[in-house]
Structure 1
């Protein structure tokens, strides 16, 4: 029978020290220039399309500036981001 760290009163007790490893993913924010955006619908369409990509943590759309900032866990896949923006009906013209 193995020993448990739980005591009879429901509290946790460990003998000796235990180390807990926590993985922290590196995030990268990349800003792209996007043409064709003019309204809230544009923001929603791009946010949904790009936000559905693997590894994308957040999407911020600046309609007035023509910019889309994509935060990813690691390096972004520019080709996938461009395809998602194209699928939403807009054009990625490069990194800002």
Structure 2
């Protein structure tokens, strides 16, 4: 078995998973607080947002590390997801 000197080396070899950080933006901040979720392989933006138990009438999207991705896009450990309401107006 390989010997690793510190936690950074373990992380670089995929032995430590960094959590997913959820950051609510705008009106979403009234419903949830910033939080960290444990990373699991196969997690998608949709699965994470659905797990937040937001009201179904509130339409939101996720920006992963600053980029809007499709709901079925996979996330990686250590990603930051900003949850933003899709505002409609006229």
TM-score, normalization by structure 2: 0.30
Structure number with higher strand proportion: 1
Structure number with higher helix proportion: 1
TM-score, normalization by structure 1: 0.29
The structure whose Rg is larger is: 1
